[in-house]
Amino acid sequence: MQYPNGINKSYKRTTPIANRGMTLESELNDTNTYYLVNDIAVIYKKPTPITVNKVDFKARNDAVIKEAHFIVPSTTDYNGIYKGKYIDFEAKETKKDNLPLSNIHAHQIEHLKRIHKHGGIGFIIVRFTMRGLTFTLSIDKLLDFIENESRKSIPLSYFEKEGFLVKQGYRPSIDYLKFVDTLI
Amino acid sequence: MQYPNGINKSYKRTTPIANRGMTLESELNDTNTYYLVNDIAVIYKKPTPITVNKVDFKARNDAVIKEAHFIVPSTTDYNGIYKGKYIDFEAKETKKDNLPLSNIHAHQIEHLKRIHKHGGIGFIIVRFTMRGLTFTLSIDKLLDFIENESRKSIPLSYFEKEGFLVKQGYRPSIDYLKFVDTLI
C-alpha cells in the first residue's frame, strides 16, 4: 500500500497513535492494571524510596511531609507474580540508540542476579524513545554483555540480537509477559 | 527454678534480652538482611507510598521534597523470593490480646488472596507486644476467620490454634521462613 510522501515513514513506528507521548512508566502501569483486573498476573511498581526528615501532624490522619529526600533504590522498580513465578524488572527509557550502563545502578544488577539465582525471572525493559521500540533483555544477556564487552553502553543492535521486541498495542499497551512466556 | 517475686513472669517472654524494645519492623529488616547476605532469600520491605506535591531543586541531584502526603498502600509491605517461591506478607503489631481486623486494609487482604491464587505464599505476621509473642497466619486461615466469624478482631487463641509461633532469636532475630518451609 502506498501513502503520500512522508506518511509511510511514521507508520514504521510500533507505537500506536493512542500511545504516542505516553511514557514507558505509564504504559507499564496501564499494562499491570490490565494484568491485575484480568487475573493474569499481580505485578506492581514499588513506591519511590525516600527518607522523611520533617512531618507536620496537622490533624489525626493528616500528616504532611515537610522535608524529605529521594534515596537510591536498593532493588528494581517492579516485581510480582505470574504463573507461580517471581517476576522482577527495571524499566528504562533512552533517547539514544544505546542504553548507557550508568542508567542502571550496580546494586540493581546485583539484585537481578540474586533473583535469577533464587529461581525468579529478572530482566530489564528498555524503550528507545526516538524509534518507538521497546525491548526486554534477560539478566543473563545483560550480564553476558557486561562481562564480555568493554563498552559503557549497550547498543540497540545488541537488543535486536539478544533481546525480545515487545509490540505495543491497545490492551494491554505493552504486553511484556509474552517475553516471560518464552522463558517458562 | 524459682525466682524472686515477679521476676519469673518476665521470663515467660520469648523475646531475648537483646531484642527487647525492638519493633517487629526493625527485627524483620534485620532478618531480611540476614537472609540476603547468607543467600537464603531475597525479601525487602517496600518503601512507604507517598504523593509528592512540591519539590525544591536546590542543585543537580539534590531535590528536596517540600510537601508530600502518605497514601494508603495498595499492597502489603513485604515481598520477595525464597526457594523459587514468591513470598508476600504484611506485618502488624498489637498491644491487645487480639488483632483488630481494621488494622489490615481490605485491599491488602484482596492482594494476599490474589497472590495465593497465582501460586505465591501469602500471610500476615503479628506481634502481640505485651506478651512478646509473634505468629504467622496464612491467608487461608485469615480468610477462614473472616468468612466464618462475626468478630471484628482475631483473638490470640486463634493464632495459637491456627497460626505458627515464630521463635525469636539472635541471628536471625525472627526466622519466619521456618513457617514458609512448612508450606512448601
Q: Is the pLDDT of residue A33 over 70?
A: yes
**Set of chain B residues whose Cβ sits within 8 Å of the Cβ of A118:** 41-42, 81-84
The mean pLDDT value of chain B amounts to: 88
N- to C-terminal Cα separation, chain A = 39
pLDDT in tens, A73-109: 889 999 999 999 999 999 999 999 999 999 999 999 9
What is the interface pTM, i.e. ipTM, of the complex?
Answer: 0.85
Nearest residue on chain A to B73, judged by CA atoms? A47
Q: Which residues are paired to A168 by β-bridges?
A: A174
The pLDDT of residue A1:
36
Q: Is the pLDDT of residue B4 over 70?
A: no
The pLDDT of residue A42:
98
Q: Comparing C-alpha atoms, which of B109, B167, B178, B165 is closest to residue B140?
A: B109
Of A49, A82, A118, the CB nearest to B84: A118
Chosen from A82, A83, A86 to mutate, greatest number of chain B CBs within 10 A = A86
The pLDDT of residue B101:
96
DSSP collapsed to 3 states, chain A: CCCCCCHHHHCCCCCCHHHCCCCHHHHHHHHHHHHHHCCCEEEEECCCCEEEEEEEEEECCEEEEEEEEECCCCCCCEEEEECCEEEEEEEEEECCCEEEHHHCCHHHHHHHHHHHHCCCEEEEEEEECCCCEEEEEEHHHHHHHHHHCCCCEEEHHHHHHHCEECCECCCCCECCHHHHHCCC
* Per-residue pLDDT band at B7 (split at 50, 70, 90): very low
Nearest residue on chain A to B44, judged by CA atoms? A75
Q: Is B83 left (phi over 0), alpha (psi -120 to 50) or beta?
A: left
What is the distance in angstroms between the Cα of B157 and the nearest Cα belonging to chain A? 31
Helix, strand counts (H, E) of chain B: 6, 10
pLDDT in tens, B34-89: 999 999 999 999 988 888 888 888 765 678 888 888 888 889 999 999 999 999 99
Tell me the percentage of chain B whose pLDDT exceeds 90: 70
Output the CA–CA distances (angstroms, integers) from residue A10 to A5, A15, A130, A134, in the order listed: 11, 10, 11, 16
Helices (H), chain B: 7-10, 24-37, 106-117, 139-148, 156-162, 177-181
Residues 6+ apart with CB under 8 A from A26: none
**Set of chain A residues whose Cβ sits within 8 Å of the Cβ of B118:** 41-42, 81-84
Query: Is B111 close to A86, i.e. CB distance below 8 A?
Result: no
What is the distance in angstroms between the Cα of B65 and the nearest Cα belonging to chain A? 5
Tell me the percentage of chain B whose pLDDT exceeds 70: 87
Query: Is B44 close to A75, i.e. CB distance below 8 A?
Result: yes
The mean pLDDT value of chain A amounts to: 88
Of B70, B82, B114, the CB nearest to A63: B70
Q: Is the pLDDT of residue A18 over 50?
A: no
Q: Is the pLDDT of residue A4 over 50?
A: no
Maximum Cα interatomic distance, chain A, rounded to a whole number of Å: 65
Q: Which residues are paired to B90 by β-bridges?
A: B124
User: Starting from the edge strand earliest in sequence, which strands make up the sheet with A133-138, in order?
Assistant: A41-45, A78-82, A85-94, A121-128, A133-138, A164-165
The pLDDT of residue B60:
59
Contact B45, B31 (CB under 8 A): no
Q: How far apart are CA B26 and CA B13, in angstroms?
A: 18
What is the distance in angstroms between the Cα of B149 and the nearest Cα belonging to chain A? 28
Of A81, A111, A117, the CB nearest to B119: A81
C-alpha cell recorded at residue B127 = 506481634
pLDDT in tens, A161-175: 999 999 988 899 999
What is the distance in angstroms between the Cα of B48 and the nearest Cα belonging to chain A? 7
The pLDDT of residue B70:
85
The pLDDT of residue B10:
37
pLDDT in tens, A39-73: 999 999 998 888 888 888 876 567 888 888 888 88
Residue B125 burial (10 A CB sphere; 0-12, 13-18, 19+):
buried
Q: Is the pLDDT of residue B19 over 60?
A: no
